[in-house]
């Protein structure tokens, strides 16, 4: 009998790892519910972050939006991970930066923990890849296996991805939430490799 691995058990295992990495909230994610939006990619082109055209993990280097949509919808399951923290006030830029760095460190730790077991997967984080500062772009990426594209670079409206998968995005005044997702295909069994 060729039994397929249980994707719900898989998501539970991944969620447990994500929580150990320090994420404040983790939920299952259905890649088929993800809508890729041209207006999100157009917002990237405004280059408010400075990464557009300067980072391998951001547009236009991360690929055409249709290619990103095809990649996303080629996955069968996943999890969405959040880092939510309190800010001193709405102008607490240091707190925002600190929380962003904590989130990026959690994404990196999660990737290091799971990608060896899930090599056919995609990790999408918040903002451009920061493995190398500055990015080598347009020279070849120095660490392509560690690069993390942003959800926005793939055309995702982050608040919509959260709500479409039963997860809050806004946790009240004085809070800020960063989001990442992990998309994977059905894990391989020995029979799959034969």
Tokens 């070849």 belong to residue: 140
Strand segments, DSSP code E, in the chain are 25-29, 77-86, 121-125, 149-150, 175-184
- Say what the pLDDT of residue 5 is: 46
To 5 degrees, how large is the angle CA 67–CA 73–CA 118? 100
pTM for the model stands at 0.87
Residues 6+ apart with CB under 8 A from 19: 26
- Say what the pLDDT of residue 26 is: 96
Domain boundaries, the chain: 7-193
The CB density around residue 170, as the number of other CB atoms within 10 Å, is 12
Please state the rounded mean pLDDT for residues 38-45: 92
Distance (Å, whole) CA 11 – CA 7:
6
Residues 6+ apart with CB under 8 A from 135: 51, 54, 55, 56, 57, 128, 129, 141
- For residue 100, pLDDT over 70 is answered with yes
Burial class (CB in 10 A: 0-12, 13-18, 19+), 108: middle
> Backbone phi, then psi, for 185, in 5-degree steps?
-95, 170
Residues 6+ apart with CB under 8 A from 160: 35
Distance (Å, whole) CA 5 – CA 124:
24
- For residue 1, pLDDT over 80 is answered with no
Q: pLDDT band for 3, please (50, 70, 90 cuts).
A: very low
Residue 106 gets the label, from left (phi > 0), alpha (psi -120 to 50) or beta, of: alpha
Cα–Cα nearest to 160, from 33, 59, 71: 33
Mean pLDDT of the chain: 88
- Say what the pLDDT of residue 191 is: 40
């Amino acid at each position: 009998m060729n039994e397929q691995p249980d994707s719900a058990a898989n998501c539970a295992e991944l969620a447990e790892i994500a929580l150990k990495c320090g994420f404040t909230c983790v939920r299952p994610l259905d890649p088929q519910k993800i809508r890729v939006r041209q207006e999100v990619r157009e917002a990237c082109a405004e280059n408010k972050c400075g990464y557009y055209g300067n980072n391998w993990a951001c547009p236009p280097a991360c690929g055409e939006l249709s290619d990103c949509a095809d990649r996303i919808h080629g996955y069968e399951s996943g999890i969405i991970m959040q880092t939510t923290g309190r800010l001193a006030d709405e102008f607490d830029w240091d707190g925002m930066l600190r929380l962003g760095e904590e989130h990026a460190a959690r994404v990196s730790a999660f990737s290091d923990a799971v990608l060896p077991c899930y090599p056919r997967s995609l990790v999408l984080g918040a903002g451009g890849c920061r493995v190398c500062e500055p990015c080598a772009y347009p020279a070849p990426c120095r660490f392509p296996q560690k690069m993390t594209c942003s959800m926005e670079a793939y055309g995702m409206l982050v608040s919509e991805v959260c709500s479409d998968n039963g997860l809050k995005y806004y946790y009240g005044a004085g809070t800020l939430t960063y989001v990442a997702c992990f998309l994977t295909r059905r894990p391989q069994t020995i029979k799959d490799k034969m």
